[in-house]
């Protein structure tokens, strides 16, 4: 709970001791971890166990020690530590019942009785700690951590109030109101005020929980929406979010290809290596050797069409290309329109905004942005960069294959297909349009290992799956 200077240490310790006796602190910590995950902090099950053990060791009486202990267990980077501090302060802020300076809204003459409901007795006794525990337990049962939309706030307020015993409180108010005695009328009035007080505090609590748990859900929903939207319909305001999505998407390519895969010890024994390693032991096998498999970093050549026919898609194709260059080693990048130029150096020299402007406008690159000529682009590549293609090279082509009725130079694509590992063609148009008008896509298909429609981020993600395949 957020400490103010007016809160005495003695009072705080008393509050926390009552929470601990109620067996409530572990569920509270688990909800905190759920809120941290929703805020973007990556937390594994083992780290969760470490945090629970740390909290059990240091206790809950000193807020700073608890915060530092949990931060050491859960936050792994400077950015995550910043997220942790914000989330911790927000999660452990006063819930409205826990303020010692909060005065009870009930007159002293209104005293609880044995036949009163549990919620009525808590309200009349002014036991804010019990009200806080009751509210949080009801929120836990209502699965408050699953609140995603602002339209759910009223629903969760009602669920929590019901879980706290609102129905019993309403019955007590109705029963007291029907009794004409002054004492009953006074008690009924006090309970009505208490009900309003309860509604206000629960509503504030739900607002706070929504800000904690709904942020990541909103992000996920927006990301899902953008992933399925046509690239041609995306707007500039989506640019940075798309960059983050695509960057996350292509990172597994580098992660996959840059690590050494090792079989388990119960796998295949490397007999020759085992004999060599154990010569010193006179043939006794003390150090068995197991076969390992190294997966090389991907060797890729990417050709991207930046002509006007794909202008609405080109910037996101270039964004994909930029992200590949950020995350994947050994990638040679080219753009083309009337001719073809290499742009690999551009990605190292400029940030994403500047690089994409230069790529689309051809600033200082020597590219001619006239009529699209796939044939000339292939000829340029053969004349100047054919040596970049080996039997380990994946050639990735991004474009609609609309060649303005020029020579498609299918022979060069056939050469690349034979010389390289595979040719993958991503076309923003749907297959029914391939080969119509000035499209030469059907002429190129026989020389493509894979040809796919690619008009959304979901399509791009499938391509990442294809690039991860070793075959």
- Which pLDDT belongs to residue 444? 96
For residues 422 and 390, membership in a common domain is answered with yes
Distance CA 189, CA 200 (A): 17
Distance CA 446, CA 430 (A): 18
Please say whether the beta carbons of 300 and 332 come within 8 A: yes
* Among the listed residues 215, 193, 454, the one whose alpha carbon sits nearest the alpha carbon of residue 314: 454
Average per-residue pLDDT in the chain?
Answer: 78
Number of structural domains (the chain) is: 4
Q: Which of 167, 194, 221 is at the close of a domain?
A: 221
For residues 48 and 174, membership in a common domain is answered with no
For 386-406, write each residue's pLDDT tens digit: 999 999 898 989 899 999 999
Residue 427 pairs in a beta bridge with 453
For 430-467, write each residue's pLDDT tens digit: 999 999 999 999 999 999 999 988 888 777 777 776 66
Widest pairwise Cα distance in the chain = 104
For residues 164 and 189, membership in a common domain is answered with yes
Instruction: Report yes or no on 74 lying in a domain.
Output: yes
pLDDT for residue 138 is more than 70? yes
Most confident of 100-114, 147-161, 283-297: 147-161
Instruction: Report yes or no on 196 lying in a domain.
Output: yes
DSSP 330: S
Q: Which of 72, 91, 110 is at the close of a domain?
A: 91
For 317-373, write each residue's pLDDT tens digit: 777 777 776 666 567 889 899 999 998 888 778 877 788 778 877 777 888 888 999
For residues 306 and 411, membership in a common domain is answered with yes
Residue 395 pairs in a beta bridge with 301, 423
Cβ burial of 359 (10 Å; 0-12, 13-18, 19+) is buried
* Among the listed residues 382, 384, 364, the one whose alpha carbon sits nearest the alpha carbon of residue 374: 382
For residues 310 and 271, membership in a common domain is answered with no
Domain of residue 316: give its range: 299-468
For residues 40 and 55, membership in a common domain is answered with yes
- Which pLDDT belongs to residue 6? 39
Percent of the chain whose pLDDT exceeds 70: 75
- Which pLDDT belongs to residue 52? 87
Query: Which H or E element spans position 173?
Result: helix 166-178
Instruction: Report yes or no on 41 lying in a domain.
Output: yes
For 168-224, write each residue's pLDDT tens digit: 999 988 988 888 888 888 888 888 888 988 998 898 888 877 877 766 555 666 666
For residues 127 and 84, membership in a common domain is answered with no
Instruction: Give me the sign of the Cα torsion angle 426, 427, 430, 435.
Output: negative
**CATH code of the domain in which 445 resides:** 3.40.50.410
pLDDT for residue 100 is more than 50? no
The answer to which of 160-164, 325-329, 405-409 has the lowest mean pLDDT is 325-329
Helical segments of 92-152, H only: 118-125, 128-141
Task: Tell me the CA distances in angstroms from 157 to 27, 143, 218, 459, one per residue in order.
Answer: 20, 12, 20, 41
Q: Which of 201, 221, 241 is at the close of a domain?
A: 221
Instruction: Report yes or no on 233 lying in a domain.
Output: no
* Among the listed residues 124, 145, 138, the one whose alpha carbon sits nearest the alpha carbon of residue 30: 145
For residues 357 and 441, membership in a common domain is answered with yes
Mean pLDDT of 34-38: 77
Please say whether the beta carbons of 359 and 388 come within 8 A: no
Instruction: Report yes or no on 235 lying in a domain.
Output: no
Distance CA 269, CA 31 (A): 47
For residues 57 and 202, membership in a common domain is answered with no
Instruction: Report yes or no on 255 lying in a domain.
Output: no
Instruction: Report yes or no on 4 lying in a domain.
Output: no
CA angle 220, 221, 222 (to 5 degrees): 90
For residues 451 and 436, membership in a common domain is answered with yes
- Which pLDDT belongs to residue 297? 59
Instruction: Report yes or no on 287 lying in a domain.
Output: yes
Helix/strand/coil for 190:
helix
For residues 267 and 335, membership in a common domain is answered with no
For residues 15 and 128, membership in a common domain is answered with no
The string over 115-129, giving b where at least 16 C-beta atoms fall within 10 Å of a residue's C-beta and e elsewhere, is ebbebbbbbbebbbb
């Amino acid at each position: 709970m957020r400490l103010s200077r007016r809160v005495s240490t003695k009072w705080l310790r008393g509050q926390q001791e009552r929470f601990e006796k109620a067996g409530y602190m572990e569920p509270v910590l688990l909800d905190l971890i759920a809120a941290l995950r929703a805020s973007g902090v990556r937390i594994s099950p083992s780290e969760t166990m470490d945090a629970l053990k740390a909290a059990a060791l240091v206790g809950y009486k000193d807020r700073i020690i608890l915060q530092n202990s949990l931060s050491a267990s859960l936050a792994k980077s400077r950015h995550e530590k910043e997220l942790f501090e914000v989330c911790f302060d927000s999660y452990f802020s006063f819930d409205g019942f826990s303020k010692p300076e909060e005065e009870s809204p009930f007159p002293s003459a209104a005293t609880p009785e044995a036949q009163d409901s549990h919620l009525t007795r808590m309200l009349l006794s002014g036991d804010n700690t019990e009200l806080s525990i009751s509210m949080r337990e009801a929120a836990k049962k209502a699965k408050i951590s699953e609140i995603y939309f602002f339209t759910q706030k009223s629903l969760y307020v009602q669920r929590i109030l019901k879980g706290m015993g609102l129905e019993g409180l309403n019955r007590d108010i109705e029963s007291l109101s029907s009794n004409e005695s002054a004492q009953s009328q006074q008690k009924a009035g006090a309970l009505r005020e208490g009900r309003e007080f309860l509604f206000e505090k629960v509503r504030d609590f739900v607002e706070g929980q929504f800000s904690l748990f709904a942020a990541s859900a909103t992000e996920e929903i927006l990301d899902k929406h953008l992933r399925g939207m046509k690239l041609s319909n995306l707007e500039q305001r989506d640019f940075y979010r798309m960059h983050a999505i695509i960057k996350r998407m292509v990172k597994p390519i580098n992660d996959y290809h840059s690590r050494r895969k090792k079989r388990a010890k119960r796998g295949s024994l490397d007999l020759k290596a085992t004999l060599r390693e154990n010569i010193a032991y006179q043939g006794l096998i003390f150090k068995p050797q197991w076969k390992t498999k190294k997966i090389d970093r991907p060797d890729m050549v990417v050709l991207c069409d930046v002509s006007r026919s794909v202008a609405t898609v080109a910037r996101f194709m270039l964004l994909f290309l930029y992200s590949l260059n950020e995350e994947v080693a050994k990638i040679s990048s080219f753009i083309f329109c009337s001719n073809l130029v290499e742009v690999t150096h551009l990605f190292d020299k400029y940030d994403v905004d500047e690089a994409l402007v230069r790529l689309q406008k051809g600033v200082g690159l020597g590219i001619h942005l006239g009529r699209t000529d796939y044939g000339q682009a292939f000829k340029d590549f053969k004349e100047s960069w054919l040596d970049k293609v080996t039997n380990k090279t994946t050639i990735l082509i991004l474009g609609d294959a609309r060649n303005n009725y020029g020579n498609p130079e299918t022979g060069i694509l056939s050469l690349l297909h034979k010389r390289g590992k595979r040719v993958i063609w991503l076309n923003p148009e749907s297959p029914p349009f391939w080969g119509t008008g000035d499209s030469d896509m059907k002429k190129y298909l026989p020389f493509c290992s894979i040809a796919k429609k690619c008009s959304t981020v979901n399509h791009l993600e499938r391509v990442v799956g294809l690039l991860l395949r070793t075959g």
